[in-house]
Amino acid sequence: MTEAALVRVEGLSKTFTNRQGLLGYVLRQKRRSSEAVKNVSFSIAKGKTFALVGESGSGKSTIARMVVGLLPPSGGNVLIDGIAMHGADLAHARQGLTHRIQMVFQDPYASLNPRWRVDAIVSEPILALRRETNRQAIAQRVAELLTLVGLHPADAQKYPHEFSGGQRQRIAIARALASDADFIVCDEPTSALDVSVQAQILNLMRDLQDRLGLTYLFISHNLAVVRYVADEIGVLYKGELVERGDGAAIFDHPQHAYTRQLIAAVPNVDALRREAATLADDRPTRARAEFP
């Protein structure tokens, strides 16, 4: 990668230990551990998109939460512009990164507070980070952000239940941009949406990346989506990064058996059309009724 890396993930690991209940304590049962992420390393250049792809349970979302600081790693570290996200005495160092990192979650129905109006939702990062205190300036900023993501400023007075799934995800993206973030972690941001709406959200994200110079970590299990949005792809299998490369290399010359399985599982539109045409040609003719 020739560009300077904005994000560096170095040897990231995460081990979960199950809780020991009262019965387990009485019976002196040993706690069981599961290694969700195993020594994962990658970097993302400024203004680029790195996609992590893998099946459910492969550790994608765990990595996403460690990258944004929601979950402490068992090993390794995440560096944003050279500043470590995890460690003993990093609270002061991380303060300067808080506004630069945001996250867009998978389910737009669950990630927005149903009791808050859109203006309160979008302005929350502005108020929390004290980016602005003047109410008129905040309202103007909210209107600008809603317009930027393809909504109307008047939508600020509505509640989340008054919007479709795609519109709610646009609100979530506006909220992520409210703190002037330049690094956004997208945890399956289109998987809960219809196919046509998925395309609209992906196009919006690419347009925002071009206009604002955003850097994305894109989490997905859909290779077709990943191929469209990613500059570089990492294939995650059972918590390990088994393959990494640009989209053309991954799709044209996959090296790992799991990568080949993922690619083989992507529906082939041309093949489906040919199969549909064959089925239409092979329809049985109506049998003539015969009576004794």
Kindly tell me the sign of the dihedral angle through the C-alpha atoms of 250, 252, 253, 254: positive
Q: In whole numbers, what is the pLDDT of the chain averaged over residues?
A: 84
Between CA 109 and CA 73 the distance in angstroms is 28
Compute the average pLDDT of residues 149-174.
Answer: 95
Q: What is the mean pLDDT of residues 66-70?
A: 89
Asked if 172 contacts 191 with a C-beta cutoff of 8 angstroms, the reply is: no
* 3-class secondary-structure state, position 39: strand
**Confidence category of residue 18, pLDDT binned at 50, 70, 90:** confident
Pairwise pLDDT comparison (123 vs 263), residue with the higher score:
123
| pLDDT at residue 268, as a whole number | 61
Least confident residue range of 14-18, 86-90, 139-143: 86-90
Torsion angle, alpha carbons of 206, 209, 215, 216, to 10: -20
The answer on pLDDT for 264 being more than 90 is: no
- Each residue's pLDDT tens digit, 238-260: 999 999 998 888 888 888 999 88
